[in-house]
Amino acid sequence: MNNNNLYNYILGIADNTLILGQRLGELCGHGPALETDIALTNIALDLFGQTRNYFQYAALLVGDGKAEDDVAYMRTERNYFNVLLVEQPNTHFGYVMGRQFLFDVYHLLLLEGLQNSSDITLAAIADKGIKEVTYHKRFSGDWMKRLGDGTAESRQKMQEAIDDLWRYTDELFQLTKADKAMIYEGIGVDVSNFKEAYYQEVSEILNEATITVPENKYFTSGGKKGIHTEHMGYILADLQYMQRTYPNMKW
Amino acid sequence: MTENEIKNLEEIFEARIARDEKIEPKDWMPEKYRKSNIRQISQHAHSEVVGMLPEGNWITRAPSLRRKVALLAKVQDEAGHGLYLYSAAETLGISREEMYEQLHSGKAKYSSIFNYPAVTWADMGTIGWLVDGAAIINQVALCSTSFGPYARAMVRICKEESFHQRQGYEILLTLCRGTQEQKAMAQDALNRWWWPSLMMFGPIDAESPNTEQSMKWKLKRKTNDELRQQFIDQTVPQAEILGITIPDPDLKWNEEKKQYDFGEIDWDEFWQVVKGHGPCNKERMDARVSAWEEGNWVRDAAMAYAEKQHDKKLKDVG
């Protein structure tokens, strides 16, 4: 492959949408109401749609007759580069929405940058994704307010989720080697540039939702380098089950 | 209302049914008709919602991204069907909460087919092909049911269901054209789902307690046995195309009747599952009840927030 950095850069984006989609996929039929099941399924469908576009492109870069599923399914854990935030479990609905919200605000900023990429394929995927992610952010932001400013119990649960998930937010803005190379080439987005905008926007919505913005200054990272939380192996065990059990078959 | 007035209304109602007019929620209807409709529509809605579970169980494990997306979309459609159907039932004066309560307490039934486990990927194909196939046969008949909101919901649902059925069949076609292992997986799934699918049409006519009244009111347009026969006749050639064998040694074309003869259905198994003792009855109910109970605080929060917003608006206006 002549552009390893571009390939890894794409994985760094698409593994987030893949793994978050997997997490949302676990919920279908188990949510608090049919309406939220439908909405979260919609979000999962958008995320998998984006994932497919990215991986189809990544597969082309690999060449050798590889296809999207080879990229999606056939890597070892250390070669998945999603952030730790998206692999966190569906502990309760507050965690589901908190994870979504903390990711969506970042995701939209990323895609807004990526639509100006000099790589026209990535720019086109970003352009399409912006419409979807704008909706995701509105949905999860509205739920922050509902749960934060709903009942005493819901505020406590939402606060708990935000407190727990907060330590995974800093990783969103760390740059990998592939990121730096792609920024240099005008293809990648320098996510470190919008860190401040991110925390400002998140804080505004949390304030409105009467949730206290955590003051925790200790953060955890590693996903972007392929060092994941212990949850990741189980996610991959599900994801890869069929492909690993029955290799080289068409489905 | 006097007895005579009621009798008069009943006559008008029966005449409307006879003329194939649709009955709308605000129209007068006999209490038994209302109850029958609530029973049937809510049972159907519950089936959609419980039916999300065996397939939802495979979303994270779907073997390709294309299949994963299709399966998610399918399960989402089922949630959507549940919504329209609950709404149709609500027009008859019952709330969604009450219907859920009936489901959770075991008072309301749902289709027994969802009490069977979906254990391999081939089950995703087979559920689409056989279970949705059987559902469509039941449901096409319901597109002309006499209660307007139900009939209209069914028209939309049928379109989506036939898409699901083709999607399921296509999963199986891919397996049957694949490796020996894949074909064996398809055959195994057919072996497990065939008889439960035939049971989806309910007991034989002679033992179906609600059929007669339901036919009279045009809630139902064909009997259980007629629908079951139609399903078998349509499905056998499809199995032949797949090249897998229907697990019924008595299945045979009857040239005289121009239909298939088939073996005895195990009605003991049918009643066991209906009465709550199938392989997954408990798991399905536990999953629904825990989704509902664990979602309580979320629904309460949404209500409380909506009220606060409403009060704020009033205050701003005032």
Bridge partners of B147?
B23
Length of chain B counted residue by residue? 318
pLDDT at A2 over 60: no
Q: Do A48 and B68 touch (CB under 8 A)?
A: yes
Q: Among A27-41, B150-164, B207-221, B255-269, name the one with the lowest average pLDDT.
A: B207-221
B positions 208-237 inside 8 Å of A (CB): none
Mean pLDDT of A160-164: 98
Contacts with B48 from chain A: Cβ below 8 Å: none
pLDDT confidence tier of residue B208, bands split at 50, 70 and 90: confident
Residue from B46, B68, B290 whose CB has the most chain A CBs within 10 Å, to mutate = B68
Residue from B57, B65, B83, B285 whose CB has the most chain A CBs within 10 Å, to mutate = B65
Of residues B90, B66, B272, the one with CA closest to residue B167: B66
Q: Do A33 and B68 touch (CB under 8 A)?
A: no
pLDDT of residue B211: 79
d(CA B93, CA B89): 7
pLDDT at A94 over 60: yes
pLDDT confidence tier of residue A26, bands split at 50, 70 and 90: very high
Tell me which DSSP letter residue A214 carries.
P
CB of A215 within 8 Å of a chain B CB? The answer is no
CA A42 to chain centre: 15
Supply the mean pLDDT for chain A.
97
pLDDT at B219 over 80: no
Determine contact, residues A151/A210, Cβ cutoff 8 Å.
no
Q: What is the pLDDT of residues B86-141, one digit of tens each?
A: 999 999 999 999 999 999 999 999 999 999 999 999 999 999 999 999 999 989 98
CB of A42 within 8 Å of a chain B CB? The answer is yes
B positions 109-128 inside 8 Å of A (CB): 121
Of residues B264, B94, B222, B80, the one with CA closest to residue B159: B80
Element at B259 (helix H, strand E): strand B259-261
Q: What is the pLDDT of residues B225-273, one digit of tens each?
A: 999 999 999 999 999 999 999 999 999 999 999 999 999 999 999 999 9
- The model carries a pTM of 0.96
pLDDT confidence tier of residue B166, bands split at 50, 70 and 90: very high
User: pLDDT exceeding 70 applies to what percent of chain A?
Assistant: 99
pLDDT at A217 over 90: no
pLDDT of residue B3: 86
d(CA B177, CA B241): 11
pLDDT at A112 over 70: yes
Q: CB-CB: which of A31, A49, A154 is closest to B301?
A: A154
Q: Do A242 and B53 touch (CB under 8 A)?
A: no
Residues ≥6 apart with Cβ < 8 Å to B108: B39, B42, B43, B46, B99, B102
pLDDT of residue A103: 98
CB of B317 within 8 Å of a chain A CB? The answer is no
CB of A98 within 8 Å of a chain B CB? The answer is no
Give rounded-to-5 percent helix, strand, coil for chain A: 70, 0, 30
**Which class for A236: exposed (0-12), middle (13-18), buried (19 or more C-beta within 10 A)?**
buried
d(CA B6, CA B205): 31
pLDDT of residue B212: 80
| H-assigned helices in chain B | 3-18, 31-56, 65-90, 96-105, 122-126, 132-142, 148-176, 180-199, 211-216, 224-242, 267-272, 281-294, 296-317
pLDDT of residue B216: 83
**Which class for A13: exposed (0-12), middle (13-18), buried (19 or more C-beta within 10 A)?**
buried
- In single-letter form, the type of residue at position A14 comes to A
A positions 105-144 inside 8 Å of B (CB): none
Q: Which two tokens stand for residue B313?
A: 């608006």
Question: Chain A: residue nearest B168 by CA?
Answer: A251
Mean pLDDT of B211-233: 88
Q: CB-CB: which of B53, B72, B300 is closest to A151?
A: B300
CB of A45 within 8 Å of a chain B CB? The answer is yes
Q: Is B139 left (phi over 0), alpha (psi -120 to 50) or beta?
A: alpha
List, in order of start, the domains of chain A with CATH numbers: 3-245 (1.20.1260.10)
Mean pLDDT of A161-182: 98
Q: CB-CB: which of A28, A147, A251 is closest to B301?
A: A147
CA B239 to chain centre: 23
Of residues A61, A2, A17, A8, the one with CA closest to residue A180: A8
- In single-letter form, the type of residue at position B183 comes to K
Q: Which two tokens stand for residue A88?
A: 């966190």
Residue from B49, B60, B286 whose CB has the most chain A CBs within 10 Å, to mutate = B60
Q: Do B302 and A146 touch (CB under 8 A)?
A: yes
Q: What is the pLDDT of residues B145-162, one digit of tens each?
A: 999 999 999 999 999 999
